[in-house]
């Protein structure tokens, strides 16, 4: 998402907010862009990935649209703790994880499954 009042012709990094934690985009935390300017930061991606992929949790798949792909899918999804409207589906999490891992600048690695 973008901060209210952002000049669409001159978008700065700090005008771009993660849709899920509302953090500003910075060099330290890479962001993945979805449709219509929605964004998912690497930290939320790690949390969501661990929750949906490793823990098998589902916060609303099939019942609400995914913020990133704008589709209502049967896939499990992760819900933002800050914004109950903000969901990201499993497919988008996998795509985002693959894209971030490929980006040598991101330094991001998907979370390991816990040994328990
Ligand atoms: Zn975030
Ligand atoms: Zn999606």
2, burial (CB in 10 Å: exposed 0-12, middle 13-18, buried 19+): middle
pTM for the whole thing? 0.91
Asked if the structure places residue 108 within a domain, the reply is no
- Mean pLDDT, the chain, rounded, equals 92
DSSP code string of 44-64: HHHHHHIIIIIS---SSTTTS
Asked if the structure places residue 112 within a domain, the reply is no
Structural domain containing residue 80: 13-102
pLDDT in tens, 19-69: 999 999 998 999 999 988 899 999 999 999 999 999 999 998 556 789 999
Question: pLDDT-based confidence at 105, cuts 50/70/90?
Answer: confident
pLDDT in tens, 72-103: 988 899 999 999 889 999 999 999 999 999 99
Asked if the structure places residue 3 within a domain, the reply is no
DSSP code string of 94-113: HHHHHHHHH-TTT---PPPP
CA of 71 to the centre of ligand 2 (A): 6
Asked if the structure places residue 49 within a domain, the reply is yes
Q: Which residues surround ligand 2, an ion (CB under 5 A)?
A: 66, 68-69, 89, 92
Asked if the structure places residue 56 within a domain, the reply is yes
Domain count, the chain: 1
């Amino acid at each position: 998402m973008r901060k209210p009042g952002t000049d669409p012709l001159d978008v700065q990094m700090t005008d771009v907010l993660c849709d899920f934690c509302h953090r500003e985009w910075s060099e330290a935390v890479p962001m993945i862009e979805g449709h219509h300017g929605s964004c998912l930061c690497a930290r939320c991606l790690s949390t969501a990935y661990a929750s949906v992929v490793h823990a098998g949790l589902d916060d609303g798949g099939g019942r609400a649209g995914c913020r990133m792909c704008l589709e209502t899918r049967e896939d499990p999804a992760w819900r933002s703790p800050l914004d109950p409207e903000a969901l990201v589906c499993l497919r988008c999490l996998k795509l985002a994880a693959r894209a971030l891992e490929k980006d040598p600048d991101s330094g991001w690695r998907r979370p390991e499954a816990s040994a328990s």
